[in-house]
Structure 1
Amino acid sequence: MDLLHVLKTRYTTKAYDAARRIPEETVQQLLAALRYSPSSVNAQPWHFIIADDDAGKQRLAKATPASGSLFYNRPKITQASHVVVLCARNELPESYLETVLDKEEQDGRYADAAARERLDTARAGYVQQHLDAGDVAHWNQKQVYLAQGFLLLSAGLLGVDATPIEGFLPDVISEEFGLKEKGLTPLVIVALGYHSDKDANATCPKSRLAPESIFSKA
């Protein structure tokens, strides 16, 4: 599929066809897009919660209660085929970084022990910079939004509609899945599926600022 066409035609879906389900092969490709997303120093400071059935989607929908102003987002969660909660790690402890290092070694990224040690030292240096600045959590969150971008673009390329949702109660999601105890913060929910005929946004023309207003030459 032509990339420019996808960029011009993908949009934020407002209503889903609950009867249509994403094929499993396509789902696996979307999950791969998340897993293979880039992150600073390959820290991969994220965790993704996947709701692929009604029970799971109802758990997520608790974060858009009927008594609140965010209820309008509930149908997007309950009627989509699949829904993903993108979470960021609050910290990058040495034990976690060692896990990443071990996996890199297992995948053949290091020619020898010295190469592993050099990468370990370099990564620890970057992490220490953010520890000193007191912004490790924020740094991690920025990496998660890179993963969201990969997911949205991949969905477009695969012909899957998507909706990034920040209008939910993160504390509800945290409590429902015990995320605080796991050192995770839920940042954004992405609904995935196929739009319904009631989705007025499907026929709206895309609007973006003119190139000359957002690009300049160095």
Structure 2
Amino acid sequence: MQSFLEISKNRYTTKHYDQDKKISQKDIDILLEIARLTPSAVNIQPWHFYVGSTQKAKDLILPAIPDFNIPRIRDCSHFIVLCSKTKISKEDYEALTEKEDKDGRFGDPKLKEAIGSHRMEFGQMHEKLGDFSHWTAKQVYLVMAALLYGAASMGIDSTPIEGMDFAKADEILGLKDKNLQSVGIVTLGYRKDDSNALRPKSRLAKETIISSLD
């Protein structure tokens, strides 16, 4: 089994997929569980994921994809549209706290009340600041990273996609009425002949991007 460092060194963004190779349902279920388990600020989990693999699903989302990214959607085995919440109701906050209670996270009713209130206050703070949608979208990028590296650990290739028409994707999926916004897409599958795989990885030197405060 590769270490996380080895996976980080070897993983690359796939440009071309073998459309004849499909990911098993078992492996897709594992990746979706990785997405579900991703951490978020105050455990707010402000996301929803739309998963597609059929031609019908691909045709549905393709109008939101520019020409240069169409091959990634067309030839991948599966794709996941990552969405973040644009609004969270009082009932949503309460339901989240009740789920945590059911899962055994609180041994004391006072702790349950305190954590539930703190989470709601934190969300309301971002609403007052006017950056709530931006804040929730940042949580979804944690999911994107988890999916990319989770897939790599399973021998599955992936592509993170931001090159898309977000407004069109929101319209296609009816996200506005669901208090959601699209943030990006992760395509998944198995690489075909891909020149990107042959290029050495290039990153800035650690001395350029890391500064010690000690």
TM-score by length of 1: 0.94
Q: Which runs of 5+ in 2 are unaligned?
A: none
Moved over 3 A (4+): none
In structure 2, distance between residues paired with 1:129 and 1:139: 11
Look up the match of 1:44: 45
**Residue from 75, 82, 88 that aligns with 2:78:** 82
SS of residue in 2 equivalent to 1:20: coil
**RMSD (CA atoms):** 1.0
Aligned residue identity for 1:62: P
SS of residue in 2 equivalent to 1:62: helix
Task: Please state if 1:212 is matched with 2:207.
Answer: yes
Q: What's the offset of the Cα at 1:112?
A: 2.9
Task: Please state if 1:3 is matched with 2:4.
Answer: yes
In structure 1, distance between residues paired with 2:120 and 2:60: 37
- Tell whether the 8 Å contact from 1:92 to 1:136 is kept in structure 2 after alignment: no
Deviation per residue, 1:74-116 (Å, 9 max, x gap): 1100110000000010012211111111111111111132121
**Residue from 116, 119, 125 that aligns with 1:123:** 119
In structure 2, distance between residues paired with 1:121 and 1:180: 27
Look up the match of 1:97: 93
SS of residue in 1 equivalent to 2:83: strand
Task: Please state if 1:34 is matched with 2:48.
Answer: no
**Residue from 201, 205, 214 that aligns with 2:196:** 201
**Residue from 143, 158, 161 that aligns with 2:157:** 161
Percentage identity across paired residues of the two chains: 41
In structure 1, distance between residues paired with 2:177 and 2:117: 29
Task: Please state if 1:57 is matched with 2:58.
Answer: yes
SS of residue in 2 equivalent to 1:110: coil
Look up the match of 1:73: 69
TM-score by length of 2: 0.96
Of 14-23 and 55-64, more deviation after overlay is shown by: 55-64
SS of residue in 2 equivalent to 1:60: helix
Look up the match of 1:67: none
SS of residue in 1 equivalent to 2:176: coil
Q: Which runs of 5+ in 1 are unaligned?
A: 65-69
Q: What's the offset of the Cα at 1:59?
A: 0.9
In structure 1, distance between residues paired with 2:210 and 2:140: 25
In structure 2, distance between residues paired with 1:6 and 1:86: 23
In structure 2, distance between residues paired with 1:125 and 1:174: 28
In structure 2, distance between residues paired with 1:153 and 1:132: 35
In structure 1, distance between residues paired with 2:133 and 2:172: 21
In structure 2, distance between residues paired with 1:171 and 1:215: 36
- Tell whether the 8 Å contact from 1:161 to 1:192 is kept in structure 2 after alignment: yes
In structure 2, distance between residues paired with 1:4 and 1:114: 42
In structure 2, distance between residues paired with 1:141 and 1:123: 17
